[in-house]
Amino acid sequence: MLEKELNLEFFRKNGYSRYKCRKCGAYFWSKVPRETCTEAPCGTYKFLDTPIFKRKYTVEEMRKEFIEFFRKRGHTPLKRYPVVARWRDDVFLVNASIYDFQPHVTSGLTPPPANPLVISQPCIRMVDIDSVGKTGRHLTGFEMMAHHAFNYEDNFIYWKDETVEYAIKFIESLGGSEEDIVFKEKPWIGGGNAGASFEVIVGGLELATLVFMNLKEDENGNIVLEGKRYSEMPLKIVDTGYGLERFVWASQGTPTIYDAIYPQMIEHLMELASIERGEKEDMILKNLALLSPRIEIEGEEKLMEEVLKSSNASWEDYKKFIKPLQSIYAIADYTRSLAFMLSDGIVPSNVQAGYLARLLIRRTLRLLEELGNPISIQELVVMHMERFRDIMDISMIPIVKEELELEEERYRRTLSKGREIVKRMIKKKKTLTTEDLILLYDSHGLLPDFVKSVAQEMNVEISIPENFHGLVARRHESSKIEIRKEKKEYDLPKTRSLYYEDPYMREFDATVIHSQGKEIVLDQTAFYPEGGGQPADRGIIIANGEKYLVQDVQKYGDVIVHFVDREGLMEGMKIHGILDWERRERLMRNHTAEHVLLAACRSVLGKHVWQHGTQKDVYECRFDIAHYKPISEQEIKEIEKEALRIITSNIPVEAKFMNRTEAEKKYGFVLYEGGIPPGKEIRVVKIGDFDVEACGGTHVKSTGEIGLLKIIRTERIQDGVSRIIYTSGMSALEHIQKEEDLLREGSEKLKVPPDKLVNAVDKLFQDWKSCRKEVEKLQKYKLRGMVEELVSLAKKGVVAASLELDMKELLLLSKELASQLRSYVLIGKDGGIVAFGPDADRIAREVAKVMDGKAGGRGNFAQGKGKVDKIKKGLNKAKELLGLA
């Protein structure tokens, strides 16, 4: 496939030839004869000795060079997308620039925001987390500079030859030479698409990948790649990825990529950790850099032996210099990724993208511990945000700092509890597998090196996979889409949605176009089908003088199905529909109130707030948001105040259908707060400058119609997610009136005015506590008397008795009695059984058995319970077993 797809006319015209690498076997194109593809380890990092470009570039300078180069050549520059893929429901983080346009643009459903375009897109790839700091080139966070062209049958932009020529011209513009460039063939697969590609190698380093995406996943396709079938698609996409950081590294020739992009932070961390670097250390670093491409093939330990030998250094030098420096490199990289993730609104948690953020935070905290905690994680993340303020939202700094402080507290608590958890597991299982290590992290947040240290204290050796963190991240980097609704297909015309044309329509006329039992499809309807967390409308359908109750309404594709209470409606019938208007009106108010509530939460709590789920109802609604701590009572009051301010401003609520691409360009990805609707067009609901969302629900015309919004309570439903239970309009008034009734009733019972109720309740509580103490004192006197009486009744230290005590009192009496008697059985008024002495377990079981109950215990104590009407029978059995009968 590759030879056919990548045998370009450009190569033939410009003196390129195709070669096969004698080391890795890959095919490549070069202007000069070569035996290898030159990519390390088939070749070496020549750029470490001989600069590729005419001068050294910073990250900012290289980004500007790239964007300007393509802007001058007709490409429209786009602002970067968030690193959290808000517009997708299959992945959490952006891994490549093409993710910005999948699935809607790449499928041909919607047009791109510009064509051709250029962007420098920050990406997060957690699968490489364990290699960061060791290989010298791996990053969890990086910017993918890219130019994209989307070629339609009626609008062809450019394809393979032009893309290769652009790569050459850009490298030359930086001072590189065409003769140093190698184009290495490789198939590319990702996000349901595929195509042939070139890896662009210069000086031994892969600088870019040029993908020619022309395939889509198709179970009937005739092209097979990595076990999946693909077919050609009409849309041909130029998908390029130029590694910004790699270009910077190649321009500077530093020993690692980290030294090129984080020089100030690395120098600062080395100084704080008291790591000195002289000629010997430079030699070790240089040799390590030259050999580092082999780490993934040969393993770090074997490679390090060769590095130390060639540097005339020892393992002691490795421990003092290389190992802590690798930790510093990783910390610098991880904290920049965290700066992107947290400033883009990801809340650390144990779910979705929050899980990946927490994994990175805890890995960083562990590395900082190994260095002696020379600086806080908060300081490092903020340093990155300040450094990259041109592409990061620095207004998020206060929130990011608080999130990290809370995460560090949680991490410390986890460690304090974790030691005993690990010990118990090791005692039970004797050793721990990789799955056990993953379970300990997923369930308890315990990192594997902490687990290993506890195991070593118990003289148990465990093996940690080198790619542990990447393994864990891979399991959590994508989303499994749940199909909750039964999938049905109807070969019927699209149902006209009257509820969108006029959401205030209470009655309508229509014709039945499909009838099957109690399932009815009309040509048009004002009944809203369940969707977006809003329940379906209810009401009646009248036909031929008969009434049918509408019990549910669902939408399948473009067809709306009504489920009625009985059969009888036939195709062709004319019907009259009447909505349960009070229900619909309350739902409209509550749905619009949810949009207002979201705007108020973002205003009070911060821009990181993101909707996590919702369910509207007639009376109480639930609204889940991402937030890093419980919502305080004061914050609830502030949210209600902000919501009321929006409501009383009587802001118009606009709803209209828009082209998806145009809506995204105008409003951004905040559109997808409530989920990601399918289709080329999406319905956009906008409330002034406060809120805009893609939403299919029904709404009031202006916020003033909501009347009132009341938060009933909040709950912390899971780590990183808070639930707000709220209501609005008439339902809110009814809730307040109910609360007032309770307040009035309490006041009447205590015979005090409402404003004195708190003091009265407090006094009542103090009186109750005082009385309780007196009761407990009297109870002790009562039990003491019983103890004396039972001891006096005992025969040779043995007694059996039935007492007017409940189980709790029996246990207290038993505690007092145990030191004074040899053996006893006590049966309480509720059937409770307590036995003490030799063979207590057997005796209690037999007593319980005759009382049709159960008992059990260990040592010299047992307890149980039987039926109340069998107490006498149980007492007789106890006397028999104790030798008192």
Secondary structure (3-state) at 373:
coil
| Total H helices, total E strands in the chain | 27, 30
End-to-end CA distance of the chain: 96
Regions of the chain short of the pLDDT cut 50: 481-484
Residue 93: Cβ-neighbour burial (10 angstroms; 0-12, 13-18, 19+): buried
Q: Return the sign of the alpha-carbon dihedral for residues 787, 793, 796, 801.
A: negative
Nearest to 597 by CA among 729, 711, 692, 496: 711
What letters, b where the CB count within 10 A reaches 16 and e where it falls short, cover 437-451? bbebbeeebbbbebb
Residues 291, 44: Cα–Cα separation, whole Å: 8
CB 261 within 8 A of CB 59: yes
What pLDDT does 1 receive?
A: 60
Residues 97, 85: Cα–Cα separation, whole Å: 11
CB 66 within 8 A of CB 244: yes
Q: Indicate the pairing of strand 653-659 with strand 681-687.
A: antiparallel
How many C-beta neighbours within 10 Å does residue 201 have? 24
Tokens of 879: 């006397």
Q: At what angle do helices 263-272 and 323-343 cross, to 10 degrees?
A: 130
Within a 13 Å sphere around the CA of 761, how many CA atoms are in the beta-carbon half? 11
CB 31 within 8 A of CB 13: no
Residue with tokens 């009733």: 745
Secondary structure (3-state) at 222:
coil
CB 723 within 8 A of CB 717: yes
How many C-beta neighbours within 10 Å does residue 109 have? 13
What pLDDT does 481 receive?
A: 46
Residue 698: Cβ-neighbour burial (10 angstroms; 0-12, 13-18, 19+): buried
CB 594 within 8 A of CB 614: yes
What pLDDT does 475 receive?
A: 67
Per-residue model confidence as pLDDT tens digits over 528-564:
999 888 999 999 999 999 999 999 999 998 999 999 9
What pLDDT does 476 receive?
A: 64
Residues 214, 226: Cα–Cα separation, whole Å: 16
What pLDDT does 311 receive?
A: 85
Residues 702, 680: Cα–Cα separation, whole Å: 27
Per-residue model confidence as pLDDT tens digits over 240-269:
999 999 999 999 999 899 999 999 999 999
E strand or H helix at 679: none
